Structure 1
Amino acid sequence: MSDQEPSRLETELELLEAMYPDQTSYSTKSREFRFSDATASLTLRLPETYPEAGLPDVISATDAAKTDVRNQGRSAVKELGLVDGEEALDAIIAAFQQVLESNATQQSAQLSSAKHNTSGATHHEDKTVIIWLHHLLNTNKRKLALSPPPSSPPVSGLTKPGYPGILIFSGPLSVVNEHVNTLKAQNWQAFQVRYEEDEMWHFAHGVGVREVETMAEVVKGIQAEEQGKKQKEEFLKAVGIK
């Protein structure tokens, strides 16, 4: 290894520790990097020449239920198209988190479907999600976010373009899930579901999804009716402001 490589790797590891406090660890002896997210975990083996040459290999990956998602993780990393010679750990962690979120969404949908089939219930369930994006600039993505599938009651919410991008959707569970999955299928640098609850939120503008320009407008827009204070607190916690 050259004199520069340990410095680059050390810098990368320090940055990751700052981004994910108490969630990362690295063994210089085995050259294994570990990331944990609650009960889910990801283990990578770094080549001797990394990051100057070579890319980390996924040697272990499990979700919150301890299910082996190593193949999914490797496929997600492959789709990133990582460039040899560049730091890659942050991008791999983000890809792993998307695998976890995708699996959780599918499991939730399957559970909801099973409950519906078992009970034969005709009432709809509500859902509210808050999504954090690294950025939201593309015009087509912005239009897509504002156009959820039609439903009764309709999906309502707020979107904020720029850095970071914010998406809030509230409405019938199945329709919200469909809209989120459609958006998630787009190409994103980071797409994180920060809040997900079976409840209906109300917005100052009424129904439908509306785009606002600033975070302050988002906060103002969710302070509606009696639960406005609670919605504000949940939003601020979700985006890491409170």
Structure 2
Amino acid sequence: MWKLSIGRLDDWTMVIGCDWPRTCSVAGGTINFSRSRVHAQMTALLSTFMSSLCADNITRQLEELTLLKCSLLHGEELSFIPPSNDSERWQTLLDAYPGEPSHSSHLGYPESAAKVQVKSSGIPLRFEVQIPSDYGAPGTVAAWSEEPAAMVAVRGDQISRADQERWQRVVRECAAEVVDSEYPVYELMSSLLLRLHEAETTLTSMTEQEDMSISSPNPAHSESIYHALLTSHHLVSPSKRRNLQSWSSQLSISGFAKVGYPGIIYCEGLQRNVEEFVANIKAMQWLALKVRFVEPLPSGGVVGGPAEDKDRKRWTEFEKVGEVVQEMKKLRRDNYVVEMGIGSAGT
């Protein structure tokens, strides 16, 4: 009696026992151990086993990439990065998902692991994600979620080394939040896109303030400032949060969103911009959304606002009601939220 051990595939070891040259049974079939047929039959069995593992891993990867792709907003893009023609193979498989990988494409399985880039139009910075070829096998998702930052690179044609290092720190910060996640790639990229839109908003705010100081030196010709307050049962969705970031940038809106339970949104800007911002919010699906008010600021403010607001971040997020009250106190508008039953004057 002798044993033949064939490699180690994750936690599986294929062991065959038999009396030469008799036949023997193994998982997947019966092998005739004549010397002339051993090599061919074992190669075929091993190939079938490997193909099954490969298909399972690719299916799991495509599932998560599809989840990420479907969550992208207008202007955001996910694409595969070469080498060779593997980017085409991966793209074909993703487009065909949830079809079976083995039947989705005449190109066959990709020879290299998936590497994708995620970016937003108009922002000169992108994220590149290297997904291990065995991602999706038992234990590999948990292992990736423990150190995903090592798999994500920050790229940009016009960013400085200091900015790149700063963004790599952001990647590590966001990665720490997705440990033990069931879908770490999706969760990490959603967080990074949100941070990317925050950076875009800040940059846009600085540019607009410079343009305003040149083109609108006379306040008499400036438009009135409106503000609005909305509440909802909750604000959790990464897509909604990114939408708020994007719209605030496009419409030159200042304000904040309180995420979690309850959801609170406060904004200020030109009347037409505030009204469009509120209309965009109402067009999304919400649970118990209430528009508390859309009205002019009592002071009849003009573009640019009070001096103490000039250095205030264009759009930000809070997690606690107390932070909302404190922010409104800084703006001397805390009565608006307190009178609505949001927090208290002593918060």
Q: TM-score, normalized by length of structure 2?
A: 0.37
* Separation (CA, whole Å) in 1 of partners of 2:121 and 2:231: 28
How many equivalent pairs are there? Answer: 173
1:74-113 deviation digits (Å, cap 9, x = unpaired): 2222222131674322222222222321222222221133
Partner of 1:103: 199
Contact 1:23 1:36 in 2 (8 A): yes
Q: C-alpha deviations, 1:41-96, integer Å up to 9, x for none? A: 3211223443512326222334xx85466434422222221316743222222222
CA contact (8 A) 1:31 1:47 kept: yes
Task: Between the two structures, name the one with larger relative contact order (CA 8 Å, sep ≥ 6).
Answer: 1
Moved over 6 A (4+): 165-170
Deviation at 1:23, TM superposition (A): 2.7
Conserved 8 A contact 2:232-2:287: yes
Q: Which has the higher helix share?
A: 2
Q: Distance in 1 between matches of 2:180 and 2:232?
A: 34
CA distance in 1, matches of 2:205, 2:213: 12
Amino acid at match of 1:15: L
Query: In the aligned structure 2, how far is the partner of 1:85 from the partner of 1:153?
Result: 43
In the TM superposition, 1:216-235 aligns within 5 A as: 218=291
Tell me the residue number matched to 1:59: 153
| Residue of structure 2 in register with 1:25 after alignment | 79
Contact 1:36 1:42 in 2 (8 A): yes
CA distance in 2, matches of 1:32, 1:201: 40
Question: In the aligned structure 2, how far is the partner of 1:84 from the partner of 1:213?
Answer: 28
Return closer, same or farther for 1:213/1:114 CA change in 2, 3 Å cut-off: same
More displaced stretch, 81-90 vs 10-19: 81-90
Which has the larger Rg? 2
Give the alignment's Cα RMSD to 1 decimal: 4.7
Q: Does 1:214 align with 2:298?
A: no
Give the structure 1 partner of residue 234 of structure 2.
Answer: 162
Q: CA separation in 2, counterparts of 1:10 and 1:200?
A: 39
Q: Which whole-Å CA distance do the structure 2 matches of 1:36 and 1:197 have between them?
A: 28
| Residue matched to 2:190 | 94
SS at match of 1:50: coil
Gaps of 5+ in 2: 1-8, 11-52, 81-86, 88-109, 277-285, 295-347
The percentage of aligned residue pairs carrying the same residue is 16
1:24–1:33 contact (8 Å) kept in structure 2: yes
In 1, the alpha carbon distance for the partners of 2:77 and 2:273 equals 32
Alpha-carbon distance between aligned partners in 1 of 2:287 and 2:205, rounded to the nearest angstrom = 32
Structure 1 match to 2:179:
83
User: CA separation of 1:96/1:197 partners in 2, compared to 1, >3 Å: closer, same or farther?
Assistant: farther
- Equivalent residues of 1:50, 1:85 under 8 A apart: no
Q: Which residue of 2 aligns with 1:15?
A: 67
TM-score (norm: length of structure 1): 0.50
Q: Equivalents in 2 of 1:125, 1:72: separation in Å?
A: 38
How many angstroms apart in 1 are the aligned matches of 2:222 and 2:233? 28
